[in-house]
Amino acid sequence: TAIATVSDDGGSSGRLTRDIPLLNLPPGDIRNCLVALADEEPMMTRLLQYRFDGDVGELSGHSIGNLLIAALTDITGDFEQAVRETSRVLAIRGRVLPPTLQHVELCARLVDGTMVRGETAITTSPQAIDYVFLDPPAPQAVPEALTAISECDIVVIGPGSTFTSVVPNLLVRGMSDALQNTHALRVFVCNVMTQPGETDGFTASDHVAAIEKHIGEPVFDYVLLNTRRPDREVLERYSA
C-alpha cells in the first residue's frame, strides 16, 4: 500500500484541481505511485507519464496520467473510485491511497517568521522552512490508510521532499498516532541529495529531526542512507 501526499498545488495537478470542480485533490503524486507499482507493459507506463511540452495550447505541461485520473473522477464522481479504476487499467501490484479526501492547502512558517501558503510558494521562498502545517488543520484520514499502517510488517517513509511530500501525510488526523502505535518496523529512507529551497545544507540527521519535530517524538527504528557519491552521469542530470 502506497500513501501519497495530496497537497501539490503546482504544475499540471494544480491546474486540473482549479479547472475541474469535482477534482478537489491533485493527482500527480498518486499517479507516480500508480506507475511505480504498475505491472503493465512498459509502453503503458510511458504513456501515463507522458507530458505535453512545447506550444500545444492548454495541454502544455499536462501529463496523460493526470488527465486520465481527472477524466475518471469526472465520470465516476469520486476521486477514490478514479484511483481504483486507474489501478485496474495498470494492473498494479498493491494499492495507492490518498491520506485524506479533503482538499487541503500546505502552509509554512519560515525561519524569519513569515507565513507562506501553497507548496509552490513554499519551495520557491528564499527563506529556510521552520515548520509546515495544513489548512484546514488535521483533516480526516482515509480509514484504509490508518489500517494499512497498523496492520503492515514494515512502514517505509521516503524518499521524497521532506517538508512538502513526507511531512504532509503525517499532518492528517490520526496518521502520526498510527505511526507511533504500529507494531511494524518503521524505516526512513533518506534522500540521496538535498533539495534546493527546502533542505539546503541538511545532513541525514537533519532530515530525521525535521520529520520528528512535526510528529512530536522519535518514531523511526531504522534510517537508511546512501554513503556513496553519485556517478558523474547522475550529477550531470541534476545539474542540467
Percent of the chain with pLDDT over 70: 97
Cα atoms in the 13 Å half-sphere on the side-chain side of 208:
17
What mean pLDDT comes out for the span 65-69? Answer: 87
- Summarize the confidence of residues 210-234 as an average pLDDT: 93
pLDDT tens digit string along 145-201? 999 999 999 999 999 999 999 999 999 999 999 999 999 999 999 998 898 888 999
For residue 16, give the 3-state DSSP assignment: helix
CA 194 to CA 162: how far, in whole Å? 9
- In sequence order, what are the beta bridge partners of 134? 106
Which contiguous run of DSSP H or E holds residue 156? strand 154-157
Contact (CB, 8 A) for 207 and 168: no
Q: What is the pLDDT confidence band of residue 136, given thresholds at 50, 70 and 90? A: very high
C-alpha grid cell for residue 60?
502544455
Q: What is the pLDDT, as a whole number, of residue 45? A: 78
Mean pLDDT of 126-148: 94
**Contact criterion met (CB below 8 Å) for 165 and 135:** no
pLDDT of 42 > 90? The answer is no
Give yes or no for a contact between 234 and 226, defined as CB atoms under 8 angstroms apart: no
Phi then psi for residue 66, to 5 deg, are: -65, -40
What value does the mean pLDDT take over residues 2-12? Answer: 82
CA 208 to chain centre: 17
Q: What are phi and psi of 211, to 5 degrees?
A: -70, -45
Q: Report pTM.
A: 0.85
